[in-house]
Structure 1
Amino acid sequence: MKLVSWNVNGLRACVNKGFLDYFREVDADIFCVQETKLQEGQIELPLGEEYRQYWNYAEKKGYSGTAVFTRLAPISVRYGMEEDREPEGRIVTLEFEDFYLVTVYTPNAKRDLSRLDYRMEWEDRFRSYLKELDERKPVLVCGDLNVAHQEIDIKNSKGNHGNSGFTAEERGKMTDLLGAGFLDTFRHLYPDRADVYSWWSNMPGVRDRNVGWRIDYFLASERLGPSITEASIACEVLGSDHCPVVLELDLPQTT
């Protein structure tokens, strides 16, 4: 089974930069996107009849938003954590026979850290939500988690200490999440692989010089560890300031 996650930073713009070419080439069973930045009816994606499409739109226009395109028919679909709605469109949860799939766009603390307190509270709720799911069946979590967890996950770690996405508080919440029974699948397979990132600033030359951050992840319940066959980061794929991340597992493909 192949799963892909990509923060497209505006799906309509990304479609104009080759999204559909990559989508067809990668041939995923489940393809998740974050930061769609659109409302219902603003796009019609020709993905083929085999893919079911599930969208969570933000109430604010041109902001946030997530979606899942899946060949596998889910048992249930949920939007948000506590209720089956969520104003910023940040979460879609699909339940399958053998696992849950959660795609998420984690709130940014903002450059001035004005949203850090909210981020901390959100992180605690999200961890509790995932733990509840994990008690029922294994969980796969993917998306833009807006944090570089370790110094190996960011090019300029020394210069970014304390900055949004690399504060001790945000990194600590990621540590707490992994400690609650989840694996960072990329680091599970490649604990020492450096200079592999999933996001780069739009400043000139930054991506060419690979001055990046690894903030896009696939997490998995620890008991899924033996099923992970590959976890990769498609750094060569353009179209967004993020690149896709890919997870391959040996799991049943229930239709």
Structure 2
Amino acid sequence: MKLISWNVNGFRALQRKMDVYQWLKETEADVLCIQETKMHRDQVEFDTPGYFQYWNDAVRKGYSGTAIFTKKEPLNVIYGMGIDVHDQEGRLITLEYENYYLLTVYTPNAKRDLTRLNYRLEWGAAFTEYIKRLDQHKPVIFCGDLNVAHQEIDLTYPKSNAKNSGFTEEERTDFSRLLNEGFIDSYRTLYPNQKGAYSWWSFQFSARQRNVGWRIDYFVTSQRLKDQITDAKILREVAGSDHCPVELDLAE
């Protein structure tokens, strides 16, 4: 099973740059999870023969939002985590299948001046509890822009970013707590020492061309799925956003 996740930084903008459905067919992905759609579903025409569509829009237009396109119809679909304060921005979709849960998630950004750090940490704690509850029933696969570079190896300049949004001690610790509850970062599990493996680059200073970036897009799975992971990839060659897609290949 091939799963791809991509923060598209505006779905309508992406459509102007590429034929998204044609690209999806060419990938032969079983599932595409996207984040930061920045739209409401009724603002775009997008047909995907062969794929079911699920969208979770933010209340505020032009902001946040997630979607999943999947070949296999789920047993159940859950939008949000059932906590009103956390369910206004369209940041989470859960698909339930017979043997696992699949989630797309767009974690809140703490903001450059860290004014949203406390909310970011509240979200993180609530999300961890949510996936722990799911994991009690069946294994969990979740993916998306988690807005945190977990380790120093996951960004080009760790020392100068130590107190910046996405690399604060608090955000990194939040992600460590989640992993310690029985989950694994699929890419680092397979490639623990791989340097220069980034999924986001600033639009400034030719950062992408120079590969000055951060790895903040992930596939995380329940620990007990570890032996089913056949590969985890960062699809750096795919343009269209300031993020590139990431991929998880699983043996079913």
TM-score by length of structure 2 reads 0.97
Q: Share of identical aligned residues, percent?
A: 57
Q: CA deviation at 1:12?
A: 0.7
Where does 1:27-38 land on structure 2 (aligned, <5 Å)?
A: 27-38=28-39
- Closer, same or farther in 2 for the Cα pair 1:171/1:83, shift >3 Å? closer
- Determine whether 1:142 maps to 2:160: no
Cα separation, 1, equivalents of 2:74 and 2:59: 25
Aligned to 1:59: 59
Consecutive unaligned residues in structure 2, runs of 5 or more: none
2:227 aligned counterpart, secondary structure: helix
> Following TM superposition, by how much is the alpha carbon of 1:159 offset from its aligned partner in structure 2, in angstroms?
1.0
Question: 1:18-43, CA deviations, whole angstroms, 9 ceiling, x for partnerless residues?
Answer: 23343122111111000000112111
The Cα shift of 1:202 comes to: 0.8
Equivalence map 1:94-133=2 (5 Å): 94-133=95-134
For 1:182 and 1:10, the matched residues in 2 are separated by: 29
Residues 178-206 of structure 1 show CA distances to partners (whole Å, capped at 9, x for unaligned) of: 10100100001100001010000011311
Paired with 2:56 and 2:82, the residues of 1 have a C-alpha distance of 15
Matched residue, 1:2: 2
- How far is 1:83 from its partner? 5.1
Q: Which residue of 2 aligns with 1:76?
A: 76
Inter-partner Cα distance in structure 2 for 1:41 and 1:114 = 32
Instruction: In structure 1, list runs of 5 or more residues that go unmatched.
Output: none
Work out the CA distance in 2 between the residues paired with 1:29 and 1:40: 21
Q: Which runs of at least 4 in structure 1 moved beyond 4 Å after TM superposition?
A: none
Give the CA deviation at 1:46.
Answer: 2.6
Q: SS of 1:155's equivalent?
A: coil
Letter in 1 for 2:156: K
The one-letter code sitting in structure 1 at the alignment partner of 2:208 is: R
Is 1:161 the counterpart of 2:166? The answer is: no
Q: Secondary structure at the match of 1:136?
A: coil
* 1:192 aligned onto 2:164: no
In 1, Cα distance between equivalents of 2:71 and 2:143: 17
Q: How far apart in 2 are the matches of 1:61 and 1:205?
A: 30
Name the amino acid aligned to 2:233: S
Q: Distance in 2 between matches of 1:190 and 1:25?
A: 26
SS in 2 for 1:130: helix
Relative to structure 1, the CA distance from residue 64 to residue 248 in structure 2 (aligned partners, 3 Å threshold; closer, same or farther) is same
Which residue is 2:225 aligned to? 224
State the aligned residue count.
250
SS of structure 1 residue aligned to 2:239 = coil
Shift of 1:92: 0.2
How far apart in 2 are the matches of 1:173 and 1:31? Answer: 26
Report what 2:241 is aligned to: 240
Aligned-partner Cα distance in 2 for 1:2–1:40: 25
One-letter amino acid of the counterpart of residue 71, structure 1: K
CA offset digits 1:198-230 (Å, max 9, x no partner): 000011311110000000000000000000001
Q: Do the aligned partners of residues 40 and 46 (structure 1) sit closer, same or farther apart at CA in structure 2, a change above 3 Å counting?
A: closer
1:212 counterpart = 2:213: yes
Distance in 2 (alpha carbons) for counterparts of 1:180 and 1:82? 21
RMSD between aligned residues? 1.1
Q: Following TM superposition, by how much is the alpha carbon of 1:86 offset from its aligned partner in structure 2, in angstroms?
A: 1.9
Deviation of 1:58 after TM superposition, in Å, equals: 0.4
Q: Which moved more, 1:113-122 or 1:10-19?
A: 10-19
With 204-213 and 134-143 compared, the bigger mean Cα shift is at 204-213
